[in-house]
Amino acid sequence: MGAAAIRGEAVALRPLLTTSLAQRFADAATTLPIVEKRSVQVGSETKVVDEEYYYTTRYGTPLAYARPLEIVAGAGLTDVAGKRLVDFGYGGIGQLMMLASLGAEAVGVDVDPTLRAMYADRDGRFGSGSLRTLEGRWPADTPVRDAVGGGYDLFLSKNVLKRGYIHPAEPVPEKRQIRLGVDDEAFLRAVHALLKPGGLMLIYNLAPAPAPPGKPYIPWADGRSPFPRELFERVGFRVVAFEIDDTVAARNMARTLGWDRGPEAMDLTRDLFGQYTLVAKP
């Protein structure tokens, strides 16, 4: 799935979107450039990257960000022009480019060195905005924390801050966990400090059904907030929405994007559930 395929998806998805922000985000798929196959150096390994991997990596279409943007638009962030946004665990550059084309200063942070190797040459102006990609563990790694800086209007995490990854209910292999590098309170205090007054933090997660009894635990199936409501409030956030079921909207999006069709078709009624938590800095 390269830029042309994403543009086709955007055309299909746009009638489903109800806010101007999400609609303009879908329209911004037209700004994604064609990318030639390239080789990137990741440590001692050379990786050949085609356009499909460049835009979807292991995480799929950037248009899945349209639903989180509908939610923040409903909370008052109706335009990203001139706004500063950080995507925590961004996973791919497509949504950053699309947001930058709408005038945002979009920053992606991820621990995967392959992403930085692929995207370092994209840092700078894009459309009427800009984008940067950073590698490291925010906020635990001081250089990354300093590079991200502050004064942001939105801190967004999609499919990263899951309870099953951060606080799995059962022992899981290390590679199936996400280590923040700081305790929960320190992490949320860092997010609070990063945001402007009025800034938003959105945790948006898609998840399959939990494993049935007797089967191995699936950490990514627990899409609840890894942080309790009381902790958000203790560090100074106003809780706008906590662990809200977004399954109907998520499935409508997935059906429109064709996730239930093709050789890797998903059983949406069994394997797709949506949930989000939204907080604001007063």
Q: Are 162 and 133 in contact (CB under 8 A)?
A: no
Please give the average pLDDT of every successive group of 10 residues along the chain, which has 282 residues. 92 97 98 93 90 92 97 98 98 97 98 94 96 97 97 98 96 92 98 98 96 92 98 98 98 96 89 97 98
User: Which of the 8 DSSP states describes residue 160?
Assistant: S
- pLDDT, residue 105, reads 98
The 3-state DSSP class for residue 78 equals coil
The 3-state DSSP class for residue 77 equals coil
List C-alpha distances in Å: 130 to 6, 7, 83, 97, 139. 21, 21, 10, 8, 22
- pLDDT, residue 108, reads 98
Closest by Cα among 72, 149, 71 to 109: 149
| Domains of the chain (ranges, CATH numbers) | 3-280 (3.40.50.150)
CA angle 171, 173, 176 (to 5 degrees): 105
- pLDDT, residue 58, reads 83
H-state helical runs in the chain: 3-13, 20-27, 51-56, 66-74, 94-101, 113-119, 142-148, 163-166, 184-194, 229-234, 247-256, 268-271
- pLDDT, residue 255, reads 96
- pLDDT, residue 262, reads 86
User: Which of the 8 DSSP states describes residue 215?
Assistant: S
Can you give the pTM of this predicted structure? 0.96
User: Which of the 8 DSSP states describes residue 82?
Assistant: T
Q: Are 199 and 153 in contact (CB under 8 A)?
A: yes
